[in-house]
Amino acid sequence: MKVAKTSLALLMLGMISGANASTLGDARSIENSMNAASANSQKKIDRSADSVLSMKAEMEQLKEEVNNLGIYRDHLSNLVASQQQEAESLQHQIEGIKDTRQGVVPLMYRMLAGLKTTVENDKPIRHEQRLDRISKLEDMMAMADVSDAEKFRRILEAYQIEMDYGTKMGIYQGQLALDNTKIEADMLYLGRISLVARSLDGKRFWAWNDKTSGWQSLENGYAKDINKAFAIASKQAAPSLITLPVSVNVENN
């Protein structure tokens, strides 16, 4: 009887152990499934986080691009406005060209007339050459193939040449009229202060007198300084102090 009870007890223990083993296996299987599901969920969460970060970076980049486009748009707007102002300015200038030309052309004629009067009333320094220059400028005014700008430039150039006669020393060969006789001589001018002449043989000297508008003979006492002045003007001697007759102060001897 005891043997039967013992066997029954062992049988029941075996059944209980088998049941517990089955339950433990199921639990472990469930745990593994839960762990796998949790891992999958974590992966999904990680992928979602990465996607969010990527989208945020893209949004920041897009914002920067939008900001840059706004700045570039404003830059183009300023350029267009500036070009519009320049176009309007050019249009005004084009419209004013006609009026400008109408004002400049009479001015050039007045400048030539004033230049001619100055030369005619001035000392006879390169007199024919200067009058010839003015004559060519007067002919130029009727030339259609010369622009008004070029005409104005040449007239200004002639004025500059006339100014140089008043500030520089120069020599040239020309004729002077004495008692209805023309004598070939070497001429020297020192600005518009002094104009003297020396015969080609170097023995006679004259000075221009503004008061009489004629040539006046000089004594031989001027010979040394006049010859020295010619040497300086021709760069055969170094600049130094010289004494020359001043045209308006030359007195008859």
- So what's the pLDDT on residue 12? 56
Residue range 48-59: mean pLDDT, rounded: 79
- Computed over every residue of the chain, the mean pLDDT equals 82
Residue range 17-23: mean pLDDT, rounded: 58
Residue range 188-200: mean pLDDT, rounded: 93
In the three-class reduction of DSSP (H, G, I as helix; E, B as strand; rest coil), residue 245 is classed as coil
Give 205-224 pLDDT, tens digit per residue.
Answer: 999 998 888 899 999 889 99
Q: According to the per-residue pLDDT averaged within each range, which of 1-10, 39-48, 190-199 is highest?
A: 190-199
Higher local confidence (pLDDT), 95 or 164: 164
- So what's the pLDDT on residue 107? 92
Q: What percent of the chain has pLDDT over 90?
A: 40
- So what's the pLDDT on residue 232? 94
Does the pLDDT of residue 22 top 90, yes or no? no
Q: What is the rounded CA–CA span in Å between residue 72 and residue 213? A: 75
In the three-class reduction of DSSP (H, G, I as helix; E, B as strand; rest coil), residue 173 is classed as strand
Q: Quickly state the pLDDT bin for 3 (edges 50, 70, 90).
A: very low
DSSP E strands in 88-204: the ranges are 169-178, 181-190, 194-199
Q: Can you give the residue ranges of every domain in the chain?
A: 101-165, 169-249
Does the pLDDT of residue 63 top 70, yes or no? yes
Q: Taking the model in full, what pTM does it have?
A: 0.58
In the three-class reduction of DSSP (H, G, I as helix; E, B as strand; rest coil), residue 205 is classed as strand
Q: What is the rounded CA–CA span in Å between residue 116 and residue 135? A: 9
Higher local confidence (pLDDT), 1 or 178: 178
Does the pLDDT of residue 252 top 50, yes or no? no
DSSP H or E run through 9: helix 2-121
Residue range 56-64: mean pLDDT, rounded: 81
Q: Quickly state the pLDDT bin for 253 (edges 50, 70, 90).
A: very low
- So what's the pLDDT on residue 47? 79
Question: What Cα–Cα distance (Å) separates residue 98 from each residue in 124, 143, 152?
Answer: 40, 18, 16
Residue range 103-122: mean pLDDT, rounded: 92
- So what's the pLDDT on residue 197? 95
Picking from 21-30, 49-58, 157-166, 187-196, which range would have the lowest pLDDT averaged per residue? Answer: 21-30
